[in-house]
């Protein structure tokens, strides 16, 4: 006997992984990205570069492995492009000294 549950479970996953934002003007974040503390681990790609966070000023932030923090301005899911800025100039310092 085979029992298939189509509705059960799928709705729960969709509710857990809903699109989220850090602030009212921030970019919409959904798979393959996730916002730490807002969305469960399984809602984003498991690699570190896909885990975003919210700053104290409610900006969406991507922290690179070298501790450089970039502000995410826009995520274009169709074109697969992220627009980011480096407000502290940390990336320039890393490139100059790295």
Sign of CA dihedral 82, 83, 88, 91: positive
State residue 46's pLDDT score: 84
Nearest to 19 by CA among 7, 28, 9: 28
- What mean pLDDT comes out for the span 4-29? 70
92 or 30, which is more confident: 30
State residue 15's pLDDT score: 65
**Distance separating alpha carbons of residues 38 and 3, to the nearest angstrom:** 34
Token pair for 10: 């799928």
Q: Does 10 score more than 70 pLDDT? A: no
Minimum mean pLDDT range among 27-36, 50-59, 60-69, 84-93: 84-93
Q: Domain extents for the chain?
A: 10-97
Nearest to 75 by CA among 28, 24, 22: 28
- What mean pLDDT comes out for the span 19-39? 91
């Amino acid at each position: 006997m085979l029992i298939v549950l189509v509705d059960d479970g799928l709705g729960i996953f969709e509710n857990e992984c809903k699109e989220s934002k850090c602030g009212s003007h921030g970019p919409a974040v959904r798979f393959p990205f996730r916002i730490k503390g807002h969305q469960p681990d399984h809602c984003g790609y498991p690699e570190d570069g896909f885990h975003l966070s919210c700053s104290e000023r409610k900006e969406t932030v991507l922290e690179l492995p070298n501790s450089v923090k970039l502000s995410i301005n826009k995520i274009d899911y169709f074109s697969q492009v992220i627009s980011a800025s480096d407000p502290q100039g940390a990336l320039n310092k890393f490139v100059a000294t790295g």
